[in-house]
Structure 1
């Protein structure tokens, strides 16, 4: 089969005769019909391979939709021929086939195209990240890339009374308004402008993953407010916080990670139930589609991003890639 492999920093290679994986116990082999590029993990692995230890450990190409080709012993939830989406596979989705654990596979409704279905990998993250949002909460979401938009939709479904979307980019904020943001705030990314967004939110979600955005969320919430770490700190892996402020405000904090299989399964099953609803606005999140051979072109397009550079360092870019959200790769 054809498969792209990340073999070095900014070095991906297309292998024409890679072996097709064989599913073991509780594993599922999926014929990949689409794999969307993760705007944080995939890009960080691509740019920091060899510079950050974790960038050689994650799965490059992990947002998959396709059809079950075969199942291993003990698999009962899915069967060959079934349409599925996958969260955190065992092998790359930039290939004709990918292997995943059964727990990471969810049923994909017939009405959802594969290119949009691959985006559903973000849904369990958003489900778990917004688990602390309560009916009537005022929620600020800093960062309106794909995962921030998915969190926006989940917070709305959980009953938030007011949703404020914050971003560097006017075009993305227009998408936020289409997806249900009650108000939008454009900022230049500085701590001062982020502080001006407010200070009385019940929940603030960091959907970027930088020291500046995380600390800004601390300032955005009220006393005993909730701060959610949804953005991935792949570039700035160490973040300094003011513990005195955290103690005085009595903050609650949690991440979007599902640390154990029971949490993963719960979030995945919720995502599966929501996968067919129009409330997710998947067509508005998918902006580009490329063939598998064009993966280098997609990586180049998405690499024009400020988020790939250290928070305190210089960057040739002042924001995200122009008019780009999710990019799907189709074998």
Structure 2
């Protein structure tokens, strides 16, 4: 089969004769219909391979939708021929086939194209991240990339009374309004959160992954408020906080990661129900920007790399905003 893998820092390799992944008794083999490029993890692995240990251990190409090709002997929830989306696979989706644990596979509605279906990998993540949002809450979301937009939609489904978002890109904020934001605020710098965003929110969701945006969320929430760390801190892996401020506010905090199989299964189960019932309302089409064949993965990486968040805080960057009019790019092995 064809497969693209990381060959080094900012270097990828196309193999035309890679082996089809072997699966165990609890695993599923998926014929990949599409794999979207992760705007944080995949790009961080690509740019920091060899510089950060975790960038050599994560799965490069993990946002997958496709058709079940084969299942292990203990798999009961899906069968060959079933359309699925995958969260955290065992092998890369930048290939014709990928392996995943059964617990990481969810049913994909028949009317959702694979290019959009691969974006649903973000849905269980957003479900788990917003588990602290309660009916009637005021929610602020810092960052309106793909994961921030998915968190916006799930927070709305959870019954948030007001959702206010901010981003560097006016075009992304237009998507936010389309997907249900009550108010959008343009940020002028990657190192500031505008004061007009407001304060005293019940929940503040950090969906960028930089030290500044993480600290800014502490200022946004009320006494005893909740800070959610949804952005992936692959570039700046250490963040410092004023713990006296945390103590005085009595803040709560949780991350988006599902730390146990129980949490993963619960988030996926909710995501599957939401995908079946609310696909039209989730507006995956508003998040999908482009579709490239497998051989053009390099072009997608170059386009998405025009982002200031790929540079550590305090370092020079030629980019002031995210790449123009760009959210998710789907890679389709069957094209070309």
- The two structures have a TM-score, normalised by structure 2, of 0.97
**1:253 counterpart residue number:** 253
Contact 2:189 2:320 in 1 (8 A): no
Report the CA distance shift for 1:8/1:133 in structure 2 as closer, same or farther (over 3 A).
Answer: same
Tell me the distance in 2 between the aligned counterparts of 1:89 and 1:266.
17
Contact 2:185 2:196 in 1 (8 A): no
Tell me the distance in 2 between the aligned counterparts of 1:59 and 1:197.
35
**2:203 counterpart residue number:** 203
Q: Is 1:137 the equivalent of 2:137?
A: yes
Contact 2:2 2:15 in 1 (8 A): yes
**1:294 counterpart residue number:** 296
CA RMSD of aligned residues (A): 0.9
SS in 2 for 1:17: coil
Deviations 1:139-165 (A, max 9, x none): 000000000000000000000001101
Q: Is 1:102 the equivalent of 2:102?
A: yes
Contact 2:225 2:251 in 1 (8 A): yes
**2:88 counterpart residue number:** 88
Contact 2:127 2:267 in 1 (8 A): yes
Tell me the distance in 1 between the aligned counterparts of 2:32 and 2:190.
40
Contact 1:206 1:213 in 2 (8 A): yes
**1:128 counterpart residue number:** 128
SS in 1 for 2:32: strand
Q: Is 1:285 the equivalent of 2:287?
A: yes
Residue range with higher mean Cα deviation, 259-268 or 274-283: 274-283
Deviations 1:291-314 (A, max 9, x none): 000000000000001110012211
Tell me the distance in 2 between the aligned counterparts of 1:295 and 1:191.
30
Deviations 1:60-105 (A, max 9, x none): 0000000000011200000000000000000000000000000000
**1:170 counterpart residue number:** 170
Q: Is 1:159 the equivalent of 2:194?
A: no
SS in 2 for 1:208: coil
- How many residue pairs were aligned? 331
Report the CA distance shift for 1:310/1:191 in structure 2 as closer, same or farther (over 3 A).
Answer: closer
Q: CA deviation at 1:191?
A: 5.3
Consecutive unaligned residues in structure 1, runs of 5 or more: none
Tell me the distance in 2 between the aligned counterparts of 1:18 and 1:56.
19
Tell me the distance in 2 between the aligned counterparts of 1:97 and 1:192.
42
Tell me the distance in 2 between the aligned counterparts of 1:296 and 1:282.
23
**1:187 counterpart residue number:** 187
SS in 2 for 1:45: helix
Consecutive unaligned residues in structure 2, runs of 5 or more: none
Q: CA deviation at 1:137?
A: 0.5
Contact 1:210 1:233 in 2 (8 A): yes
